[in-house]
Each structure stands twice: as C-alpha cells, then as structure tokens.
Amino acid sequence: MAVRSNVMARGVTVPGLLFCAALTLLAGCAQAPQRVAELPGWGEDRLSEALPAFIAGCRPPALPAPLCAEARALPPGDDAAARRFFETRFTLRAAGEGLMTGYYEPELRGSLTQPATADPAPLRGRPADLVEVDLGAFSTELRGKRVAGKVEGGRLVPYPDRAAIEAGGSPAPVLLWADDAADKFFLQIQGSGRVVLPDGSVRRLGYAAANGRAYVPIGRLLADRGEIPRAEVSMQSILAWLERAGPERARALMDENPSYVFFRERSARPEEGPVGSQGVPLTPLRSIAVDRAHIPLGRPVWIVAKHPVSGVPMRRLVLAQDTGGAIRGEARADLFWGWGSEAREAAGLMKERAEVFVLEPN
C-alpha cells in the first residue's frame, strides 16, 4: 500500500454527466461510451502490455477464477487477443471525472547508524502497539473503511500524530536513517522507496502501516498561506521551499501533516516495482491507487487524461492495485510512474483532470 499521493492533491469528483464536456477536448467524443470497445483511444493502447499486470492481481475474490485462467491462457504480446478478452468479458461502468495525481518509487541516501547531522531522519518500522481495524468486518455499511490506533484502558484511542512520534512518542523501531528529513517525508508520502547506503548497497523499504491520522497536503497549506502560487504547487516547488525554509521551519510545516507511515524492509529485484495494497508489485504506468470503497482492487480501469510534462493525451488501461491516504472519491486516482528521474518529474507535476471508467466482469 502506498499511502501518499502527490502532496498537493485534493480528492475532487464531479458527476459523471459531465463526461463528454471533458472528453470532447481529450478524445473528440460525441457522447459517453456505453461499451468497452467505444472507449476513447481503446484501439490505440498496447493492451498486451497491460495483461501481465492484470494477471498478477487477478485472483478471487477480486475477480472470478475462470476469468483469471482465461487471461493466463492468452498468447503473450497479442494485442488483438487481449482486446477481445476485455471487450467480451467486461462491462463498462463510468466512474466520472476526478483528479489524477502521480507517485513514484523514490531513491534517497541513508545509513544504518544515526548520522551526525542537526536534523536526523529515522525511518521507522511498525510499532508493536499499533492496532489496525477493518470496519467492514463489523458492518457492511462501513465496507472499505479502516481506522488505526492503540489500546489504552481497554479502549481503542487514536495513535500519536507525526509530531508526537518524531518526539519519541512511539515504540516504533528505527530501521534506517535518512540523510535528509525532506526526502524522508516524501518517502512516506510515496509509501515505498530505495535507500542507498554509504557502501553503495541498496535497501528496499515498503509500506508496513500508518498511524491512521488524516493526511494533510502541505502543498495546500503553502498555497493557502501565499508561500507558493496555487497553480505552481508541485513536489518540486515544495522541496525548494523546504530547503529555503531551513530545518526548523521545514519540520514545523511537515508536522502539520499528522499522518505517519511506518516501513518494512523487503527484498525485490531491481527491475521490480514496490508492492501495492493488493499485494503485487506495481507496474509503471499500468498500476493506479484508488479509493477501494468505490473501485475494488484488481479491477481494470480505463483513464483519459494528459501527460503532465508533454501534454499529449494519455488513454490507457491501468489496474487498481494500490490505495493512498489522499485517494478519496469515486473517480480519484493516483498513477504509478515507476522510479528514476523521469518518473520523479512526471509524478511530481501530475495534477490532471481525468475521466475514469471501470471494467466490471460480466
């Protein structure tokens, strides 16, 4: 699970009746598509490239076992076969228009011991006293809702917020030390990453748990205060502000986001993405984080947006394989861009209106 999304993001969804107003600009449609084959750009995507990611997360109860077996039997690299499969085995459900942000797997420098810096940045593992509760197990009306806290006097109470944890208010063990507090903060937003140690070796960290506090985008706070023009808020502009502000002001701002992510060390091949909430490695530009109260994990999703750097249309099949603390709403989504400098740039800049269509199994 990647508890983040882009720090400036605000989950906003508008009614699906506005589909064509946006799609006319992006896809030149005359009316909202009713079938999978009518999706804007459907014939252009290399669907065979999305098939491995779909198969990786295709399993009951998310999707029927016979459907998954049929997908695994499709010939690799055959776009026509993959297209027929999705067209005949799925029914289209329009989720509406919403905000699409981006995330990536960051790489930062760190060490196994506390560095001799004025502002050390510990990367902590899951604390023993943290309790996570799936409220859907108690009521169908609360399906998809979760809370976290700790037990005091026989009652579940909220877990300490970011400032309290950083001040030592949690027994969470320190796994590694990051060289830079801002890099640590963004690692927590992204939910997973790679830490390069002084000897050149790399440790992979994945999401273990969160403290259950509401996510507060610090980019929004900076915009509200006039520190950064709202239209210019991005990961890059926020990092620049944190550097200019100095350690004390930077930490004070980051502490205004009470959400806190704990990590676990994980082994993974260098070419493999981090593991998302569905328990499978994320695939660059084929995996998205969604609000699973509206879109079940494992579902194929068609997105219509534009590239945040080039501005060219992005119309492609992606898979709902992750969740995020800021991802709330029927058409709210977060696109995984991968790792490296290009992924970092695109993810940091992505803040696009997008049309979202869910492919439901017949």
Give the model confidence (pLDDT) of 142-151 as tens digits.
988 899 999 9
Mean pLDDT of 37-41: 97
Give the pLDDT of residue 115. 84
pTM of the model: 0.74
- Per-residue pLDDT tens digits for 286-297: 999 999 999 999
Mean pLDDT of 35-59: 97
Contacts of 45 (CB under 8 A, 6+ apart): 315, 316, 317
Q: Does residue 349 have a pLDDT over 70? A: yes
Residue 90 is which amino acid?
A: F
Best CA proximity match to 300, nearest among 111, 139, 71, 132: 71
Tell me which DSSP letter residue 103 carries.
E
Mean pLDDT of 243-271: 94
Residue of higher predicted confidence among 23 and 173: 173
The tokens describing 102, both together, are 């981006």
Question: SS3 for 79?
Answer: helix
The tokens describing 162, both together, are 């970011």
- 250 falls in which pLDDT band (50, 70, 90)? very high
Q: Does residue 27 have a pLDDT over 60? A: no
Query: Contact 282/276 with Cβ under 8 angstroms?
Result: yes
- Crossing angle (nearest 10°) for helices 47-56 and 65-72: 130
Tokens 């196994």 — which residue? Answer: 112
- Per-residue pLDDT tens digits for 169-183: 999 999 999 999 999
Give the pLDDT of residue 13. 38
Q: Does residue 191 have a pLDDT over 60? A: yes
Mean pLDDT of 196-205: 94
- Per-residue pLDDT tens digits for 65-84: 999 999 999 999 999 999 99
The tokens describing 343, both together, are 């992924």
Indicate the length of the chain as a whole number.
Answer: 362
Q: Does residue 204 have a pLDDT over 60? A: yes
CA–CA distance, 277 with 2 (Å, rounded to integer): 7
Give the pLDDT of residue 127. 98
